[in-house]
Amino acid sequence: MLPNKVAIDIIRKYMARFEKGEDIENFRKDLIRDLLNHNLLVKTEDGTYTLVSECKEELMHSRIGALRESIEKFVIPSDLRSMKNPKILDLCSGIGYNSIGALHYNKNCRIDMVECCKEVLFLSLCLDMPYEEHNIIKDRIKNFLEGDASRSDINIYLEDGRSAIKKLEGRYNVVFHDAFSPQRDAVLYTVDFLREVYKKMDDDGVLISYSSSIPFRSALVEAGFIISEGNSVGRKRGITIAYKNPSPDRKIRRIPLTDERLIAISTVGVPYRDPNLNLSHEEIIKNRNFERMIFKKKLLELGRYYSTKNVKLGKIDRKFLEIQKLDLNSTQVILKMREILGV
């Protein structure tokens, strides 16, 4: 899914002036006014701006604050402040809030920004932000849009994350996974894509997502991650923090017990898949529905099917509940429950 089409068309009109060599200062305020008048740009509660997406109900950022969301959901939970020269993958970098926030907290970050919409990158050049690190990102975007393909500490990849991931050098300490919600666009939430991300992470790497979706967390488990939950910001459910190979002394908060059960033994836990990294959202959803049906049939045949309601209430075989009492992380619990389920 992309930002709103009309918004993209408006931005493109102003971008053409930039491409002809006109100074952005001449028109950036007009662009902002134009987007605001069409209700396509929204001022969030911290004063920073967000764009409406293709689906009018979903904004690119939370109304509590575009920059606030980036700091509280991505930058602080990643703990990058304490890292020496963190290497960051900013997936779906958009306007660049997450990269700006990362640099604000640690000026030694090296960042690969991956974004498939040129107009969103350009919009960043026209906005004001309270952090001076915005200028670093703006310079990088401007040079990139002017054709500078050289590599530096901050790099931009203008393409689908699924093709970018294969060519990135990797060894990331932090991955910001900031795609639109999986309910509307599942392409970056599949087991297969997340496996590629996993391969590109350093052993101590951590992936952060605002999404707490069950099939997404299930896909992370299948891709090899140790999943955990962070604080909630502006919504009921907590963010997802997924580690590649956490050190034994790291405190890993478990996801809610109901979520562990849903992922492990219910059809809700069937993840999204995209084996060749080329399916559309609709195809991914259709295939998942089919896989859920087959899984349910198998469970019924084995006499091990539980309704979602009963899984949530814990009205299931005691053996599963006993596993949840063990001193394990959520991924270990889920894998053990699946072992017992035997499907």
Ligand X SMILES: C[S@@+](CC[C@H](N)C(=O)[O-])C[C@H]1O[C@@H](n2cnc3c(N)ncnc32)[C@H](O)[C@@H]1O
Q: Is 197 in the site for ligand X (CB under 6 A)?
A: no
User: What is the C-alpha separation between 155 and 6, in angstroms, rounded?
Assistant: 28
Q: Does 165 bind ligand X (CB under 6 A)?
A: no
What residues form DSSP beta bridges with 123?
Answer: none
What dihedral angle (degrees, nearest 10) is formed by the CA atoms of 291, 337, 213, 78? -130
Told to check if 101 binds ligand X by CB under 6 A, we report no
Q: Give the one residue of 10, 40, 60, 227 binding ligand X; rule: CB under 6 A.
A: 60
Shortest distance, CB of residue 66 to ligand X, whole angstroms?
Answer: 7
Measured from the CB atom, is 3 or 230 closer to ligand X?
A: 3
Q: Kindly identify the residues of this chain, within the stretch 132-161, that bind ligand X according to CB under 6 A.
A: 160-161
CB of 70 to ligand X, least distance (A): 6
Pick between residue 41 and residue 120 the one whose CB is nearest to ligand X. Answer: 120
The reply on whether position 196 binds ligand X by CB under 6 A is: no
Query: Is residue 188 near ligand X by the rule CB under 6 A?
Result: yes
- CB closer to ligand X, 99 vs 331: 99
Give the nearer residue to ligand X in terms of CB position, either 95 or 333: 95
Q: In angstroms, rounded to a whole number, what is the distance separating the alpha carbons of residues 201 and 157?
A: 17
State yes or no: residue 46 binds ligand X (CB under 6 A): no
CB closer to ligand X out of 78 and 324:
78
Q: How far is the CB of 305 from ligand X (least distance, A)?
A: 35
**Whether the Cβ atoms of residue 304 and residue 343 lie closer than 8 Å to each other:** yes
Span from 39-47, 96-104, 216-224, 299-307 in contact with ligand X (CB under 6 A): 96-104
187 binds ligand X (CB under 6 A): yes
Stretch that binds ligand X, among 33-41, 88-96, 236-244, 260-268 (CB under 6 A): 88-96
- Please report whether residue 92 would count as binding ligand X according to CB under 6 A: yes
Query: Does 180 interact with ligand X (rule: CB under 6 A)?
Result: yes
- Nearer to ligand X among residue 190 and residue 324 (C-beta): 190
Which CB sits closer to ligand X, 181 or 329?
181
> Counting contacts by CB under 6 A, is residue 116 touching ligand X?
yes
Cβ burial 92-114 (10 Å sphere, 16+ → b, else e): bbbbbbbbbbbbbbbeebbbbbb
Q: Does 11 bind ligand X (CB under 6 A)?
A: no
- 179 counts as binding ligand X under rule CB under 6 A: yes
**What span, in angstroms and rounded, lies between the C-alpha atoms of 184 and 169?**
29
Among 4, 44, 78, 98, binds ligand X (CB under 6 A): 98
Q: How far is the CB of 150 from ligand X (least distance, A)?
A: 22
Contacting residues toward ligand X, per CB under 6 A? 1-3, 60, 70, 92-98, 114-117, 120, 160-161, 178-180, 187-188
